[in-house]
Each structure stands twice: as structure tokens, then as C-alpha cells.
């Protein structure tokens, strides 16, 4: 709905544009594990949270027309900027690439960090808590965004202002984590 109501794209083009984020999440999944192995999970997750926050703020402050500026041809996940024209990577697509990579830094390293916070006897409980809160946020987040859109008279861009606030809360909580780094294997 953001792509349709804020950017003025057709639903199909909006879905194609959004597909850049999960594509780059998958492409960056293995590198994010290697990065965490070098600099630590806490630091890696924090970098991901900061990068995702910056990406969301840039989506908020950049005018919709500028977000649809063509950067380069991109056959599979680009969008046509003119009817029948070539599929293009847009500025919004570039931001979503960074968002996908940032999400990989966060998501790929979160569960292993939780697992390493506990002992074998309580691993199921900690994994359950991880999924409880992940699922809870997936339920509450869209509702909070929907209420904000309604309260602002249909301003879908408000999502890009609310989301960074939650990323900063996550970063603040991450700063309190003192354990959960990977053990060195010889």
C-alpha cells in the first residue's frame, strides 16, 4: 500500500520493488554470519539496526518522485518507470538493497546470540521467547502502522517515521546485551 499510495506505483510494481529487500536479505545472509564472526554479533546487529534506521529515515525524508529516480537497468527486480520502458533500479530500490543487507545483519545473528545466552537445558525456553517476541512484533507492528496511517489521514509515509523509533529502541536494548557472542572453535 505504501508503494501505491505514497509512491504512486501499480500494486504489481510495488511488489516488485519491495522484492529487492528480501532478495538482498538472502544474498547477504551468509556474509552477515562471517561479519559477525569477525567483529562480534552484538556489533553486527547494532550496525544492522543503525543502517536500517538510516534507510527508513531516508525513505521518509526523500520526496516520492526522487525515490523513483532511475539508477540503472535491472531486468528481474527493477520497475518500469514509463509504460513499456525498461525495468530500472530506482533510488528506492537502492535503499531497499541496504535495508535487506541490514536486516540480514540483524536477523541472521539474533537467534544464534539467544542460543549462546543460555545453557543446553534452557535452550528451548530461550528459543520460544525469541519466537514469541518476534511473532508478537509481527502482529503488533502492522496494527500500529495502520493506526498511524488512519490518524494522519492516509499518510503512508508515516510508517517510515515510526519504524526507526522501534529500531532505536532495539539498539538501546542491544547495548545492554553483554553475552551471546560465539565461542571460538579451534
What CATH number is given to the structural domain containing 28?
1.20.1250.20
Q: In what order do the strands lie in the sheet with 79-80?
A: 70-73, 87-90, 79-80
**What span, in angstroms and rounded, lies between the C-alpha atoms of 172 and 167?**
9
How much of the chain exceeds pLDDT 90, in percent?
Answer: 66
**What span, in angstroms and rounded, lies between the C-alpha atoms of 104 and 100?**
6
Report yes or no on 114 lying in a domain.
yes
As a whole number, the mean pLDDT across the chain is 90
Report yes or no on 17 lying in a domain.
yes
Contacts of 153 (CB under 8 A, 6+ apart): none
On the question of pLDDT at 52 being above 60, the answer is yes
Closest CA to 90 of 162, 174, 19: 19
Report yes or no on 180 lying in a domain.
no
Report yes or no on 39 lying in a domain.
yes
Q: Are 116 and 124 in contact (CB under 8 A)?
A: no
Report yes or no on 183 lying in a domain.
no
Supply angle C-alpha 183, 33, 119, rounded to 5: 35
Confidence grade of residue 184 (pLDDT, cut at 50, 70, 90): low
Report yes or no on 182 lying in a domain.
no
Q: Which domain holds residue 149?
A: 2-175
Poorest-pLDDT segment among 41-50, 55-64, 82-91, 161-170: 82-91
Q: How many folded domains does the chain comprise?
A: 1
pTM of the predicted protein model: 0.89
Q: Are 81 and 92 in contact (CB under 8 A)?
A: no
Residue 80 pairs with which residues in a beta bridge?
87
Amino acid at each position: 500500500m505504501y508503494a501505491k499510495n505514497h509512491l504512486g506505483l501499480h500494486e504489481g510494481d510495488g511488489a516488485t520493488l519491495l522484492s529487492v529487500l528480501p532478495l538482498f536479505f538472502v544474498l547477504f545472509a551468509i556474509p552477515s554470519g562471517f561479519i559477525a564472526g569477525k567483529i562480534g554479533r552484538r556489533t553486527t546487529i547494532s550496525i544492522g539496526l543503525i543502517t536500517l534506521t538510516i534507510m527508513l529515515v531516508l525513505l521518509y525524508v526523500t520526496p516520492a518522485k526522487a525515490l523513483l529516480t532511475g539508477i540503472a537497468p535491472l531486468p528481474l527486480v527493477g520497475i518500469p518507470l514509463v509504460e513499456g520502458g525498461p525495468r530500472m533500479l530506482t533510488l528506492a530500490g537502492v535503499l531497499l538493497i541496504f535495508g535487506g543487507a541490514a536486516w540480514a545483519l540483524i536477523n541472521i545473528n539474533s537467534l544464534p546470540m539467544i542460543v549462546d545466552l543460555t545453557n543446553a537445558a534452557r535452550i528451548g525456553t530461550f528459543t520460544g521467547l525469541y519466537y514469541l517476541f518476534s511473532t508478537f512484533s509481527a502482529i503488533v507492528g502492522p496494527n500500529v502502522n495502520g493506526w498511524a496511517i488512519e490518524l494522519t489521514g492516509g499518510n503512508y509515509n508515516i510508517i517510515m517515521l515510526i519504524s526507526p523509533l522501534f529500531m532505536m529502541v532495539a539498539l538501546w536494548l542491544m547495548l545492554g546485551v553483554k553475552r551471546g557472542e560465539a565461542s571460538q572453535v579451534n
